[in-house]
Amino acid sequence: METMKTALFFIILISTVLIGNCQTIIPGGSVSGTWTMAGSPYIIQGAIMIANDSTLTIEPGVMVEFQGSYKFLVLGQLLALGNPTDSITMTAANTTNGWLGIRFENTASTNDTSRIEYCKIQYGKAIGTSPNDCGGAFYFSDFSKAIISNSSISNCYADDDGGGIYCLNSNPNISNNSIKNNTSDSGGGGIFCDNSSPLIISNTISDNLAHDGAGIACESSSNPSIINNIITNNSGSNCCGGIFCQNSNSFISGNTISYIPSDSTGATFAGLIGAAVNRGVLYDPSRWGMSSPPNQGLPEYYYVANPDSNAGQFNQYSKVLHEFSLDGLCYGHSYDDYFSQAAALSVNSGESVTITVLSFE
């Protein structure tokens, strides 16, 4: 009887050890099926891919840990579906080196919508040659059937654009997320749009860093809808802690954009909103790039591509914003070159500035 008790004890002990150390090794290659809590954590030891017409479902509570700079390429469908009490975590074993993020690169539009809900995406690092240097957590190229919602994207980095999310010719739905502490060495610490029109709604985008557009950057004919977001404490080393738009026509409504300066001598908010009040608000966009001065019969407010102050050419919309603002300061594009008109908001150290952008389109 004593021998049976001893044997039973060791069986229970071994079972407990096995259960306590359960993990699934993924050496790399194609993945599909379902990743369950019972198999968690999933240890990724090479680049992985969901093949076209395949689906990978990840259950609530699962941890996915990348052991190196490996990408997660989605050519099929990804369903990473956590819930409010049990989220999914995708992270890196070495947070300094990171992993290459989730990448939708020319994913066929015939695939069903990918959904990333209640997930924590951490330490994605887009490094190397193009396009691997864009999109720290998410990279979208020519694919729009994706929803990122109720998730956190944090501590991600891109050598180029899109520290958190990069969109190229893509229109994903980005809603109710926390996008925080991400960095881009170029544009869009939080989100970067290149010829893209994503729906960006009800997110908190904070504490991101970039050269231009630390919160959101939009370029190259992008037309995103940026609605009801809180965009705060982002810092652009060159321009725009909040939203930066260049050659784009964004719909921006109901956002709160704020920044607390830390410079002991005061801070200049050069284009805090950037072109949130974009050129199309004040003049006919069909006249963009025209070089004729106003005295040649064109409307007073239009854009001069290469203004010549000696010939009386200036970009008049800076003047409009200056004259009609409540406190005599301009909150428009940081590169306004209307003679003697301020295009920045300056405050003393310790003050905070909140600008609520209503319906501009």
**Which pLDDT score is estimated for 259?**
60
Domain assignment of residue 137, yes or no: yes
- Contact of 128 with 108, CB cutoff 8 Å: no
Is pLDDT at 25 greater than 70 in this prediction?
yes
Residue that wins the pLDDT comparison between 91 and 333: 91
Domain assignment of residue 17, yes or no: yes
Domain assignment of residue 283, yes or no: no
Across 314-318, average pLDDT: 46
Please write the tens of the pLDDT for every residue from 30-74: 999 999 999 999 999 999 999 999 999 999 999 999 999 999 999
Domain assignment of residue 308, yes or no: no
The predicted model scores a pTM of: 0.73
Domain assignment of residue 302, yes or no: no
Please write the tens of the pLDDT for every residue from 94-106: 999 999 999 999 8
In the chain, what is the straight-line distance between the N-terminal and C-terminal CA atoms, in Å?
Answer: 82
User: What is the distance between the alpha carbons of residues 55 and 33, in angstroms, rounded to a whole number?
Assistant: 6
254: containing domain? 2-259
Question: In Å, how far from its chain's centre is CA 268?
Answer: 24
Domain assignment of residue 217, yes or no: yes
**Which pLDDT score is estimated for 247?**
78
Please write the tens of the pLDDT for every residue from 181-238: 999 999 999 999 999 999 999 999 999 999 888 999 998 889 899 999 999 888 888 7
User: What is the distance between the alpha carbons of residues 56 and 204, in angstroms, rounded to a whole number?
Assistant: 28
Domain assignment of residue 124, yes or no: yes
Domain total in the chain:
1
Domain assignment of residue 157, yes or no: yes
Closest CA to 31 of 59, 12, 54: 54
